[in-house]
Amino acid sequence: MGVIETQGLGKRYAGGSVIALEDLTVDLGGGVTGLVGANGAGKSTLIKILLGLLSPTSGSARVLGHDIAGGGAQIRQLVGYMPEHECLPPDTRAIDFVVHMGRMSGLPPAAARERAADVLRHVGLAEERYRLMGTYSTGMKQRAKLAQALVHDPQLVMLDEPTNGLDPAARDDMLGLIRRIGHDFGIPVLVTSHLLGELERVSDHVVVLDAGHLLRSEATQSFLGDTGVLVVEVLAVGPDAQARMGEALAARGLVCRPHGSLIEIDPTTAAPDALRDMVRDTAADLGLGLVRLQAQTGQLEDVFREEVAG
Ligand SMILES: Nc1ncnc2c1ncn2[C@@H]1O[C@H](COP(=O)(O)OP(=O)(O)OP(=O)(O)O)[C@@H](O)[C@H]1O
Ligand SMILES: [Mg+2]
């Protein structure tokens, strides 16, 4: 803990009529932290406050030990920031842009060129680094934005919606890069998304914002552990194998529902061991092979939906 600490942070816009953040107190450490919330939840506002680009209306925060009040310039020197909106000059080559950003962060010319080539290769733009960025696809632009955030060897990176506009394959690549930054390189990452499901795969810690209010801030594991549903998959020996299994489980008093090719069993209907025995015996009675029997951790999306509804 202690990489990012906020205390009662609040932000109002438009003369106080728009509440973007309200009384936010969090203490975030290393690894990857996912900052999750719907459009307008306050994610970008929080990042800009942490960078010292916006002043909070109330409260305080420290980033890497520096107070945001007065320490903005120092913080921005230590932090790599990938903004959510497009910010790339279209008539500039990626290599020149990233070298320039490295120079702006204080790297000497030779080091900036070397680091720029390294980070562009790392994000998968080795071949295309001499192209004008105006000719880039959305996926390539997001990679170039990530490269400029990493060029000066930051001690913390803040990525605002890095998967925005990406197709599923490109999104997986980006999430893989983020995981490597946080885990292989050991640089703490704060990453935002409104697609809750994708952050659970890369985040060690999740912060959920709802209309400027903190819903939760906790380790991803404990977050997801709350809704352990038992998942059963039977060998599809006939078209109705799954339906027969579901009916037989229901006949034993279990609450279950089909989910694609799987059957989900409500974990509260029996003790965990008894539940597994019942599933095994039911499959054996029906002569069906069990492909899978496992406790499924909840999806962030489900947790989020319940929290907002409740
Ligand atoms: N400059 C501004 N003036 C007035 N209101 C603003 C301003 N910037 C943001 N807001 C409002 O503050 C709230 C939080 O906005 P913010 O951009 O931080 O949300 P976000 O979680 O990043 O959303 P998104 O997922 O759409 O990027 C929203 O209601 C937004 O309309
Ligand atoms: Mg935003």
195 lines ligand 1 (CB under 6 A): no
Residue 301 has pLDDT above 70, yes or no: no
CA 87 from centre of chain: 22
What integer is the mean pLDDT of 49-54?
97
The pLDDT confidence band at residue 291, using thresholds 50, 70 and 90, is confident
**In the prediction, which pLDDT does 259 show?**
83
d(CA 264, CA 207): 27
d(CA 83, CA 162): 8
Closest ligand (CA of 14): 1
244 membership: H or E segment, kind and range: helix 241-251
**Residue 231 Cα distances to 135, 159, 263, 301, 306, angstroms:** 46, 34, 6, 18, 20
3-state secondary structure of 186: coil
User: CATH assignment of 226-309, given 3.30.70.100, 3.90.550.10, 3.60.20.10, 3.30.70.20?
Assistant: 3.30.70.100
Q: Whose CA is nearest to atom 4 of ligand 1?
A: 13
193 lines ligand 1 (CB under 6 A): no
- Of residues 229 and 1, the one with the higher pLDDT is 229
Tens of pLDDT along 218-229?
Answer: 888 766 655 557
pLDDT, averaged across the chain: 90
Q: Quick check: 41 and 211 in contact, CB under 8 A?
A: yes
d(CA 300, CA 225): 10
**Spacing, Cα 54 to ligand 1 middle (Å):** 12
Residue 84 has pLDDT above 70, yes or no: yes
Tens of pLDDT along 113-165?
Answer: 999 999 999 999 999 999 999 999 999 999 999 999 999 999 999 999 999 99
163 lines ligand 1 (CB under 6 A): no
170 membership: H or E segment, kind and range: helix 168-183
- Backbone φ and ψ for 225, nearest 5 degrees, come out as -70, -20
The pLDDT confidence band at residue 11, using thresholds 50, 70 and 90, is very high
Work out which ligand 1 atom sits closest to the CA atom of 41: 21
d(CA 38, CA 30): 24
Domain 4-221 coded CATH 3.40.640.10: no
Work out which ligand 1 atom sits closest to the CA atom of 21: 14
Residue 298 has pLDDT above 80, yes or no: no
The label of the residue with tokens 């034993």 reads: 252
**In the prediction, which pLDDT does 299 show?**
56
Sequence-ordered strand ranges (E) for the chain:
4-13, 18-28, 32-36, 58-63, 66-67, 79-82, 156-159, 189-193, 205-210, 213-219, 229-234, 256-259, 262-265, 290-296
d(CA 209, CA 308): 10
d(CA 15, CA 189): 32
What integer is the mean pLDDT of 67-88?
94
**Whether this model's pTM surpasses 0.85:** no
**Spacing, Cα 42 to ligand 2 middle (Å):** 7
- Backbone φ and ψ for 195, nearest 5 degrees, come out as -85, 100
* Strand 189-193, strand 156-159: pairing: parallel
Give the number of other CB atoms < 10 A from CB of residue 255: 13
What integer is the mean pLDDT of 194-206?
84
Domains of the chain, residue spans? 4-221, 226-309
309 lines ligand 1 (CB under 6 A): no
Query: Shortest CA distance to 255 belongs to which of 286, 236, 278?
Result: 278
d(CA 51, CA 72): 6
Strands across the sheet containing 18-28: 18-28, 4-13, 58-63, 66-67
Tens of pLDDT along 238-278?
Answer: 778 889 999 999 998 888 888 888 898 887 777 777 888 89
142 lines ligand 1 (CB under 6 A): no
